[in-house]
Structure 1
């Protein structure tokens, strides 16, 4: 009798493994291999199972060619899922250390709790039988979406969404985009035309269903665009051979799904007409919100690369076991779902959402569209987005994800949580539409009652707080790239408009007029930041997060204690104004404000001093320059706003404006954790000591609301 391999048990059920569950319908996983790559290579000489695993790994050698083999750990397990009983493939994970990590203890592998560096799956056809009982069935992924199987798969995904998701059904029947591409020309494979629907009632009625394209412009050189010179010609004909590959493929795909009209921004918006671009940006909410489907070229860096990304290769291997039984086994890299998953299963300490912009470099490289700010807004606004990636098609809608492999939300295969911000955004907007304007006093009271220790709450079961959700969206949005400074507020205007009913307040230059705490934003990396260029008809004031470029923007939305500071906006007293692209003066009325002396100890090291006490300071822009410039010994203004649950004191640092006296400019957010006595070696004092030293006349903090207010105008 042949002895089972000690490394992989021959990838067969074996009586010497009593802990393995081989019941008729097992749920859980069976571990077959836990070794290193050199050990697997050595074992492959006498074991067909190990040889098969090694062959599959080496077919993907390019992924770890620069890694020493003795740093690569290999595990293999069969996963049995209650929700995916038709899949019982063999999952093989490879993990390795960086070259900088010279620890040789493989049992203390730094990635053991994270997602593997390379994850492979070995599987047979659905009706196939493997000669290794550890290798079961898997799903093939479509390589050509234009074939009947691809079109049928997409139809099924959309049907599943429309039939089961109430949030995905809503459509404004009164809205039709100003222009759409009409794909119903005489010879549809050769040409299309641009149709202005307001001039054609029949076409407008037919255009009640249309698709939209979300794509990355790339460097933009040679991009086919509608301009004032080409507009009339494009109304008659847009030659097929002038279209980039992605446009051609999305046209063929749209027609294959039986839809006549398509919206592509470069062709449906007159690109050299500023008024047309502003109109289109304000209609973004409706254009994408009313599209039956948004098709996303998620893995393409630019339109010339095409819509249908080249799929990761699936290898077919002839495998035979110790008895000579022969079978076909397929090996491919398992779809990792890239940036649609959180980097880990650990919640963010900042809020209940974990930033997806922290995805791995590899994930970002394989989904370049997800790094664009415009595309992020388009994803949120669309009822459903069909992502074309280099591993599979994914349908992301307002209530769920669907993918070809069928495992994106199956924790048995991947415990990382799927991004829910689109779903939370849709729920928030729908709740506001159902209930009318929300009372903001109830929202603020929720914020004030929120503790940072409550981060374990499951937001999937409770409606998202609209202000907190907005802050998270801005953080994700600012972590993404936008080519032109002037587009920063333009691209997010549609998102703000959608959520405005939930927040129920005026909106000015990215800020909600009901929230003083929203002014406590801060860039995560001031050394990477700059102030954007201003243009004549756009004023992005220093108090707006959009006045800083180059870094994700974070917010302090929860307050343990209000320090009697309020903000009002100079917009004719209206609380319902929607001014998405510009803003003016904010008037702060604060009970606690004091002058402080600015000090620069070394390049990039800043302090604020007053009454013999100094506190560290991180300005918005490092080093300070331009209108933010401050010299050592210069007097600045510190306005306190709140205390946080981190036991820190929060406020704004203002500098007198050189050009608009007697107004101020914001140069940074202030957060004090501890105070240092000038010229003393004593231990730092807690943040609360700042009140005593900088505000000695405040003897009763509970009476702040009764104190006189200092008034400052910030531009």
Structure 2
């Protein structure tokens, strides 16, 4: 819609699908200003498709209406939707449909010489050319064999890959890409050498460029593996049946409507309940129960791509920097994952990056990874994109230099696993522990709900590759000044394979044992738990709501390498008036200490 001081309505719904929409030419725009317009998505599309005496019918809206009851037509509107949303831009954030760096791509159609026929594909190496390509987000199967390896690399590059050997999910994604008129697709299993550790490491650090430069990311949401395919038989038509009504009326906010044309040419209204519980995995407050959305690598694929189309078991869903949508309209009334999470990556200068990053950290902590070693690298692309905004300072193993102390008040809510065989991150980083985490001091995106008592005097991380500030780390430390209390400790609850141990706290000089113990962040090995004889409580500050918070530290286990240093093992707090006497007692016992090093 052209910018004009005279136009006060928000963009009409069909503008999500084409850019030449305006209140003067599209009846749809007349509904955009009503308070509940986003509850009437389909009804508004229908009225726009029917037209008015003052304006002709909107062909795009008519196609959307047909797609509601004619499943095959879903595919037909996708191409126009993508093209127009690309032009729409979404606040200047949807640029970058082509990339010019060297990369592997799957070539699909006659864009080169010799031409590639309809059902023939091959892997090509681009040489810093401007290429338009799609990407695929998918879940690997348990025994994925169709991969690019050294043995077949030359064959895949020089000869056509037999169509019937390509897994169904890949074939479907290739077909969609062709229908969009795009000549290339990037699929990790076909474009990264899977038996070459160096190639994998190199390519895995470029996900920001690969997905950020794609024309469209195709998400195979309902496929359990590479043979599941994109398309599923939706039961929405049967579950949420349509009903004829005598004449077109206002309807209910809980219903959506479609129109058909009778033999007399008059419009007929059909109404149905808006589908529900089909969008929760896509919202901001859910980890995602689908095969795909709960995967760690997919979070950055979802956030970095300028636009994503989800092939869900129920319907097509859309997500881009401009917003979200789906065929039934329900995406418009749920929490907007795309906008809330992408704020930290874009041009919203008013957004406080460290605060917004907490939401990304909470979401990522819920995601699953096949290999623990990918913990840092699967987040690196998002961090690299956020770093470009310049609003967080230096990236520090999952945290930002700006307002760092506020970001270290994380707690582990489930799983409580810490790999004993490999180093992932410093103990003060939430990335060091596998499990869902939460920040009690995260209130909104503009302010902190906490008062910090410590002073961080130095922080450093040792990078595996100095050129990749957001990549894996091999070490790190934090030096702070603050008030501490030291306790003798013993294990009072051995926990289980999934529940961490609990330890008592006894003040050595006062010979006083606190009424409650400390449940540590992660399940310790038996040997590690037995070595634990003392704990240091470092008062960090007051978090929301009136929660006086202490970090729980132990002497570093590797005493030879970290003499006099500490590791974080937990967090404890005193909350409300009932705990105030205990907190006051700890403050009486506390002593100010400088130069506390946490590794």
Q: Which residue pairs with 2:434 in the alignment?
A: 549
SS at match of 2:570: strand
Q: Which residue pairs with 1:523 in the alignment?
A: 412
SS at match of 1:482: coil
Alpha-carbon contact 2:375-2:424 (below 8 Å) kept:
no
SS at match of 1:191: coil
Q: Which residue pairs with 1:229 in the alignment?
A: 151
Question: Deviations 1:32-68 (Å, cap 9, x if unpaired)?
Answer: xxxxxxxxxxxxxxxxxxxxxxxxxxxxxxxxxxxxx
Query: Could you tell me how far 1:330 is from its partner in structure 2?
Result: 8.6
Q: Which residue pairs with 2:524 in the alignment?
A: 624
Alignment of 1:139-178 (within 5 A): 139-141=65-67, 150-171=75-96, 175-176=100-101, 178=103
RMSD: 4.0
Separation in structure 2 between the aligned mates of residue 481 and residue 306 of structure 1, nearest angstrom: 22
Alpha-carbon contact 2:108-2:183 (below 8 Å) kept:
yes
Are positions 1:429 and 2:316 aligned together? no
Separation in structure 2 between the aligned mates of residue 567 and residue 175 of structure 1, nearest angstrom: 42
Of residues 279, 287, 299, the one that matches 1:338 is 279
Query: Could you tell me how far 1:292 is from its partner in structure 2?
Result: 1.0
Q: Which residue pairs with 2:164 in the alignment?
A: 241
Alpha-carbon contact 1:648-1:687 (below 8 Å) kept:
no
Alignment of 1:657-672 (within 5 A): 657-661=556-560, 662=563, 663-672=565-574
Separation in structure 2 between the aligned mates of residue 615 and residue 238 of structure 1, nearest angstrom: 68
Are positions 1:356 and 2:286 aligned together? yes
Q: Which residue pairs with 1:291 in the alignment?
A: 214
SS at match of 1:431: coil
Are positions 1:496 and 2:393 aligned together? no
Query: Could you tell me how far 1:494 is from its partner in structure 2?
Result: 0.3
Alpha-carbon contact 2:462-2:474 (below 8 Å) kept:
no
Q: Which residue pairs with 1:103 in the alignment?
A: none
Alpha-carbon contact 1:637-1:654 (below 8 Å) kept:
yes
Question: Deviations 1:511-548 (Å, cap 9, x if unpaired)?
Answer: 323412322222102xx32212544xx65332222221
Query: Could you tell me how far 1:389 is from its partner in structure 2?
Result: 1.0
Separation in structure 2 between the aligned mates of residue 397 and residue 380 of structure 1, nearest angstrom: 9
Separation in structure 2 between the aligned mates of residue 313 and residue 431 of structure 1, nearest angstrom: 38
Q: Whose radius of gyration is greater, 1 or 2?
A: 1
Distance 1:532 1:554, change over 3 A: farther
Q: Which residue pairs with 2:355 in the alignment?
A: 468
Query: Could you tell me how far 1:275 is from its partner in structure 2?
Result: 2.1
Question: Deviations 1:240-282 (Å, cap 9, x if unpaired)?
Answer: 1221101001111101110001100111111122222222222
Of residues 482, 490, 506, the one that matches 1:609 is 506
Separation in structure 1 between the aligned mates of residue 494 and residue 430 of structure 2, nearest angstrom: 24
Query: Could you tell me how far 1:569 is from its partner in structure 2?
Result: 2.6
Are positions 1:712 and 2:596 aligned together? yes
Separation in structure 1 between the aligned mates of residue 467 and residue 450 of structure 2, nearest angstrom: 28
Distance 1:254 1:341, change over 3 A: closer
Residue ranges of structure 1 left out of the alignment (5+ in a row): 1-26, 28-79, 90-122, 128-136, 343-353, 436-462, 676-682, 698-706
How many residue pairs match? The answer is 511
Q: Which residue pairs with 1:563 in the alignment?
A: 453
Alignment of 1:5-20 (within 5 A): none
Distance 1:627 1:386, change over 3 A: farther
SS at match of 1:408: helix
Separation in structure 2 between the aligned mates of residue 485 and residue 607 of structure 1, nearest angstrom: 31
Separation in structure 2 between the aligned mates of residue 142 and residue 531 of structure 1, nearest angstrom: 47
Separation in structure 1 between the aligned mates of residue 522 and residue 344 of structure 2, nearest angstrom: 37
Separation in structure 2 between the aligned mates of residue 279 and residue 371 of structure 1, nearest angstrom: 24
Separation in structure 2 between the aligned mates of residue 299 and residue 180 of structure 1, nearest angstrom: 24
Alignment of 1:308-457 (within 5 A): 308-312=231-235, 314-315=237-238, 334=275, 336-339=277-280, 342=283, 355-357=285-287, 364=289, 367-409=290-332, 417-420=334-337, 422-431=338-347
TM-score by length of 1: 0.63
Are positions 1:584 and 2:475 aligned together? yes
SS at match of 1:190: coil
